[in-house]
Amino acid sequence: MSEIALAADFAIIIVAAAVVGLIAKQTGQPTIIAYILTGLLLGPAVFGVITPGELTETMAELGLGFLLFLLGIKMRIDDIKDILRPIVNIAVLQTILQTALAFAVAWFLGFTLTETVIIALATVFGATPIIVKILTDKDEITAMPGKIDVGVLIVQDIYLVFVLALLGAGQLGTPTEVGTTIVTITLLISLIGVIAFASSRYLLPQLFRRVADNKDVFFLVAIAWAFLFILISQELDLSLEVGAFLAGMSIAQLPYSTELEDRVTPITDFFILVFFVAIGLQLEAADLFAFWREAIIASVVLMVGNFWIMFYLIDREDFSVETSFLGSLNMIQVSEFSLVVGGIAITAGFIDEPILGYLSLMALMTMSVSVYIINYNHQIYDRVQPFFSRWESEEKVDAELPEYNDHAVVIGYDEITKNVLPILDREFDQLVVVDRKAAHREELEQKGYDTVYGDFRHTEVRKAAGLKRASFVLSSTMQAEVNKALLSELSSKTTVFVEANWIDDARELYDLGAHYVIMSTHLTGERVSNYLELYFDDRDEFERMAQVDIERIQKYPTEGLDMDDVTVLSSDEDAAASGGEKE
């Protein structure tokens, strides 16, 4: 195929995916479903205008690598360490029981032993991107059911890496061969894991600290780190997904991971688009609907079965009935990773396209339904609560999780915010400072303040700071548009102080609900004017006031900061990007 034809096919894919994605958004469906449908529409299943080419296949493979890299970056052990033991108990047993259920269903439906094994391995995973996205949008990701689900998904992601490595090895023959392959893969993954863990402790903190203030180099170093581990994995005859996942996981434990997650997400979304479109392009109509009856039966059985397995496992760890119900309801779908496993199984020659069609139908049906179920999970619980009350008892009480309740968020670290931090720290239970400069973050942590490193305009950074639940917010950026967006995101219950350069901006910010607008340039100009008047009218009084200022400056030294680190008032565009810093 010529380069022009490849480019034309690729353009058609992007345009079609955008159109179908817009339709999916209007109906509340996840974009992953839109991408699969795009592939089905363009491929032999419907119109047959596109056939998978070398460019599509290469970018689809990269998409899978970036997807696993992003999953690794999301694996922050600190997020679940307070309930780590029950989560591990739930996740391990859930993996075993749901795999057994999927195996039994597939075997009952008449699939061969190899097909049944692949189906059982493929259908045990939860839809991580969908679950995390919806729960985050609903502000439930830090609630107890969300914490449990995220923890289980993390364990599933680790299991996914082993499954992908096993299928990539291409050996599912005798039990001896399988056992040998599993041992070999475990040793190799452990070797790479040790390298990743050691790097996250001793190498990466210093490396990223040096490049954190240069956003372009920061991003490139992270991507280079991913490709380094991909190279190591391939040299050890493991799949690229293993290396990408462990590279992301090593970065996840750093304070810079939230900012990086937001930077990696757009490029990952693009490559994922190609990957799931490529899945649809592989399927013909006959393959897609070859087992449509079986897909419907399996979808119903697995959704119901997965719910009760999760409910039993969460309930036996003595969480409340409501937590058990909601945490289980969120995890009932057959995820997009079933297609990832199916696609690799086809490449390795274990299954044919009709089985991928079967997995695709199950994923499409269960994910489509689960989107609405998760969105209305509390309403569903209210309806069925009388039935589930039989499992209630006084011993089943959710453990308290450390999360931001009565807290203040400060955006940016400069001379204004530096002076007010002690006051806010005294008035609120917790104080979180968002800043994108590595030196500032370290200084703040030495003083005992909680920090979130990153660009405040990035969604993940705002979520990490608990912005929507903040009682008080102080923004030190003078970018009017950024402060307007901030005010639109916060409720009227949050007290908000923002900065502005111009009177017109201040008026608009007050209209949008700001409680106080800091007009630093206006106040500075007014004070300079007063000083000049004093200088000309009363030289002695002026010198006394100047001496007071000199003593004040000497009282608050810069504490060893270089002059480049000392912030002054400015309207520089980078102030907003750095979370309100002014250089």
Q: Which residue's structure tokens are 């979520």?
A: 463
> pLDDT of 424-466, one tens digit each?
888 888 889 998 887 887 888 888 888 888 877 777 678 778 8
Q: Which residue's structure tokens are 């033991």?
A: 85
- Looking at residue 105, its pLDDT comes to 95
272 — phi, psi (to 5°)? -65, -40
Q: Is 437 left (phi over 0), alpha (psi -120 to 50) or beta?
A: beta
Q: Do residues 317 and 89 make contact, with C-beta atoms less than 8 angstroms apart?
A: yes
CA distance 473 to 496: 5
Tell me the Cα Rg of the chain: 27
485 — phi, psi (to 5°)? -65, -40
Q: Do residues 357 and 288 make contact, with C-beta atoms less than 8 angstroms apart?
A: yes
So what's the architecture of 407-577 in CATH?
3-Layer(aba) Sandwich (3.40)
Q: Encoding tokens for residue 224?
A: 């280079």
Closest CA to 545 of 536, 557, 558, 534: 534
Closest CA to 152 of 298, 319, 276, 270: 319
- Looking at residue 368, its pLDDT comes to 86
User: What is the number of alpha carbons within 13 Å of residue 234 lying toward its C-beta?
Assistant: 10
What are the residues whose beta carbons fall under 8 Å from the beta carbon of 213, sequence distance 6 or more? 436, 437, 438, 439
Domain range summary for the chain, segments of one domain joined by +: 3-49+56-391, 407-577
- Looking at residue 392, its pLDDT comes to 81
CA distance 357 to 299: 13
Q: Is 100 exposed, middle or buried (0-12, 13-18, 19+ CB in 10 A)?
A: middle
Q: Is the dihedral of CA 119, 233, 222, 450 positive or negative?
A: positive
- Looking at residue 522, its pLDDT comes to 67
Q: Encoding tokens for residue 496?
A: 């908000």
Write out the H or E segment, with its range, that includes residue 497: strand 495-499
Domain 3-49+56-391 classification at class level: mainly alpha
Q: Encoding tokens for residue 128?
A: 């991580």
Q: Encoding tokens for residue 84?
A: 């780590």
Q: Which residue's structure tokens are 């509390």?
A: 378
What are the residues whose beta carbons fall under 8 Å from the beta carbon of 394, sequence distance 6 or more? none
Amino acid at 410: V
Helix (H, G, I), strand (E, B) or coil at 322: helix
**Tens of pLDDT, residue by residue, the chain (583 residues):** 556 666 787 788 889 989 998 988 888 777 878 888 888 888 888 888 887 666 677 777 777 788 778 878 877 767 666 677 888 889 889 999 999 999 999 999 999 998 999 999 898 887 776 787 677 667 676 678 888 887 888 788 778 878 878 777 665 556 676 677 778 878 878 888 888 888 888 888 888 888 887 878 888 988 999 899 888 888 887 778 788 888 888 888 888 887 787 788 788 778 778 878 888 887 888 888 889 999 999 999 999 999 999 999 999 888 888 889 999 998 998 887 888 888 888 888 888 989 989 998 998 899 888 888 988 888 999 899 889 888 887 666 665 444 445 789 999 888 778 888 888 888 888 889 998 887 887 888 888 888 888 877 777 678 778 887 888 999 888 788 888 888 888 877 888 998 888 888 888 888 888 888 887 766 676 677 777 787 778 878 878 877 777 776 666 544 433 333 333 333 343 444 444 443 3
DSSP, residue by residue, 173-193:
SSHHHHHHHHHHHHHHHHHHH
98 — phi, psi (to 5°)? -70, -35
Q: Which residue's structure tokens are 């660009």?
A: 455
Closest CA to 580 of 444, 437, 426, 419: 437
Say whether pTM exceeds 0.95.
Answer: no
